[in-house]
Structure 1
Amino acid sequence: MRAKANRVAVLALLLVGVTGCAGGGRPVDLATVDSVERPAPVGVEENPAPPSTSAAPAPDCDPTRSFRALSPMPPPRQMPAGSTMKKIQDSGKLIAGVDQNTFLFGFRNPTTNALEGFDIDRVREIAKAIFGDGNKVQFKVVTSAGRIDALKNKDVHVVVRTMTATCVRWQDINFSAIYYQAGQRLLVDRASEVTSLGQLGGKKVCAAKGSTSIKTIADHEADPVPVQVDNWSDCLVMLQQGQVEAMSTDDTILSGMVAQDPNVKMAGPRFTQEPYGIGIPKENEDMVRFVNGVLEQSVASGSWASSYDRWLGRTGEPRPQPPAPKYRD
């Protein structure tokens, strides 16, 4: 009992000493906080340096023209000997570079953890045409900036990731025929009165690294401040937190964000044309022709329309006609 009483007495003395040093019970060493900065996404860059290719003149081409579709198409599991498709068949899986952050196009279902969306449907169509099974796919998540390198480094067989076909990109990779026509617009807070990029001079506007959107923002005569991030979802977070005045990319991507967040809206009309193509390594021209055959089959069978209705129909926009393929040979 005496030992316990001694411990209590010592604790009491310590408490008296602490409160005495604190000046009547007030805490010491208070930190003065003037403001709290919201954390920025990893890899965010303001006023990024233009890519080395931006200074070079764009080659003269029609980026929407691809190689004529393979005809007749080989049956599934019977790819031509020596073809790129036969090598993929023998490997047992199609490796596809995709997105997992673009709602309605390429996103991860939080319930099933499966990748879903309009772009994911295009991948599964290609796999089904090769294997007879649309599930024989290995998905690799790639950023906008990493799409071309993934193809050049042979990390993937195809990239299906809301990718605009451009003449500059055609120098490094091949594109399929256009499977969707999008256009760049603005996403702003619902209370904003902004309707054009021209109203955002000196204001921060967010887009993804490696996208055509970030270059459009940087090149605009009103001099908005381009802010680039790794993923489109990072732009949405920055807009929600008031760190940027707007974000800008293809209206298809923005439609998914509006569906997720009722506090934002699309503003103004399209101010670019963004024709989406499937990226394929430069040397695999036979694969381009095969994929174009798959796209023709998708439109003819109604699969393209069903996929549009399932994913993009929820935006309320009327379903457009599938882009008519244009071939260079």
Structure 2
Amino acid sequence: MSRLAVRVLPIALVLATALAGCTDAYDETVVPSPSPSESATASSGSSSSASEPVACEDVLASYDPLDPLPGPTDLPAGSTMAAIRERGRLIVGVSADSLLLGARDPISGQIQGFDIDMARLVAAAILGDPDAIELRVITAAQRIPVLVDHEVDLVARNMTITCDRWEQVAFSAEYYRSGQKVLVTLDSTATSMADLDGARVCAPASSTSLARLDEYPDVIPVAGTTHTDCLVKFQQGEVDAITGDDTVLAGLAAQDPYAKVIGDAFSDEPYGLAMAPDQVDLVSFVNAVLDQAKADGTWMASYDRWLAPALGPIDAPPPSVYGR
């Protein structure tokens, strides 16, 4: 078997399991258009005043959390959360091919990872059941459109909080701090992005990782559909490197024994759960859920399970910032 064939095998298996296998009753692999009733229900508790562009003096500042956090049977009447509970499930846009964050397990067929754990916390808080959740697999480029069109209630897909994105969606408080790095072949002598002049570097379309390649004019940017698409291109020799958040690259390296992650992080990538800008009540509710998970050890248990083995231990979750 050729070296190329050996390298392509791991991702071929990942793609096969991502597109097939047993799934939850609420688990889907495409983003269908929402029915009129679902769209109306999802937006019925919204706040129209929040649809205006939001000032971005502090990119991490989110809306104050609900205090106290209401239980599933005490949700405010007419709220977005009450509409979700009436529907019977939380609809979340996720990745199914970001190992450690959101990826389909080849044995169980379930999508799982750190991002999925965060979404399940919200489902449990609204519906009393973490399994009352519909996971809709989306690409990085679909994250904002599915929220603007109210096709999902929230997006939990390693989405960096930026001022530009605040103009289109609303973010929770930061739930994870990542950093952009680069993945190269195992025999590469490069030690950082600065050593990749003339190299073809892949990142998903519409991602901050791809946009940041503008800071390296001698690098040749290549847009992929997803990081898995970038990994296929990398394994087939169409690109020389992949750039992205360290969390994502750790998952890619785990799938390819001929790849390694190099250098220090050259950006800060604060992740937030994203919601529609006219559903600020849901943002405040989610912030209360995240704060509770950070305080009671639930967040740290999820980090230790999914990310600590690849990225090492950390002292505490990122602090929540409010005042928007």
Query: How big is each residue's C-alpha offset from its partner over 1:36-65, in whole Å with a ceiling of 9 and x where there is no partner?
Result: xx9xxxxxxxxxxxxxxxxxxx97532111
Matches within 5 A, 1:7-22: none
2:293 matches 1:298: yes
Query: How big is each residue's C-alpha offset from its partner over 1:131-150, in whole Å with a ceiling of 9 and x where there is no partner?
Result: 11000001111100000000
For 1:166 and 1:249, the matched residues in 2 are separated by 16
Contact 1:98/1:142, CA 8 A, preserved across alignment:
yes
Contact 1:182/1:274, CA 8 A, preserved across alignment:
yes
Contact 2:170/2:274, CA 8 A, preserved across alignment:
yes
Contact 1:102/1:253, CA 8 A, preserved across alignment:
yes
Cα deviation for residue 320 of structure 1 reads: 4.2
2:236 matches 1:241: yes
Corresponding residue number in structure 1 for 2:33: none
SS of aligned partner of 2:210? helix
2:228 matches 1:230: no
For 2:247 and 2:311, the matched residues in 1 are separated by 12
Corresponding residue number in structure 2 for 1:256: 251
Q: Could you state the TM-score of these two structures normalised by the residue count of structure 1? A: 0.80
- Tell me: CA distance 1:290–1:60, structure 2 relative to 1, closer, same or farther (3 Å): closer
Structure 1 unmatched runs, 5+: 1-37, 39-57
Contact 2:103/2:112, CA 8 A, preserved across alignment:
yes
For 1:114 and 1:77, the matched residues in 2 are separated by 28
For 1:278 and 1:126, the matched residues in 2 are separated by 10
Cα deviation for residue 241 of structure 1 reads: 2.1
Which of 88, 110, 114 does residue 110 from structure 2 map onto?
114
2:92 matches 1:128: no
Corresponding residue number in structure 1 for 2:162: 166
- Tell me: CA distance 1:89–1:308, structure 2 relative to 1, closer, same or farther (3 Å): same
Which of 183, 188, 212 does residue 216 from structure 1 map onto?
212
Q: What is the percentage of aligned positions where both structures have the same residue?
A: 43
- Between stretches 105-114 and 61-70, larger displacement belongs to 61-70
Corresponding residue number in structure 2 for 1:149: 145
Corresponding residue number in structure 2 for 1:198: 194
Corresponding residue number in structure 2 for 1:17: none
Q: Rg bigger for which structure? A: 1
Query: How big is each residue's C-alpha offset from its partner over 1:179-198, in whole Å with a ceiling of 9 and x where there is no partner?
Result: 00000000000110112222
Return structure 1 stretches of 4+ with deviation > 4 angstroms: none
- Tell me: CA distance 1:62–1:117, structure 2 relative to 1, closer, same or farther (3 Å): same
Q: Could you state the TM-score of these two structures normalised by the residue count of structure 2? A: 0.81
2:266 matches 1:271: yes
For 1:141 and 1:223, the matched residues in 2 are separated by 34
Query: How big is each residue's C-alpha offset from its partner over 1:181-240, in whole Å with a ceiling of 9 and x where there is no partner?
Result: 0000000001101122222222210000110000111x1243211101111011112222
Contact 1:179/1:322, CA 8 A, preserved across alignment:
yes
Cα deviation for residue 316 of structure 1 reads: 5.1
For 2:146 and 2:252, the matched residues in 1 are separated by 26
For 1:294 and 1:60, the matched residues in 2 are separated by 23
Structure 2 unmatched runs, 5+: 1-7, 9-53
Matches within 5 A, 1:25-36: none
Contact 1:102/1:256, CA 8 A, preserved across alignment:
yes
Aligned-pair Cα RMSD in Å: 1.7
SS of aligned partner of 2:65? coil
For 2:221 and 2:312, the matched residues in 1 are separated by 29
Contact 1:197/1:222, CA 8 A, preserved across alignment:
no
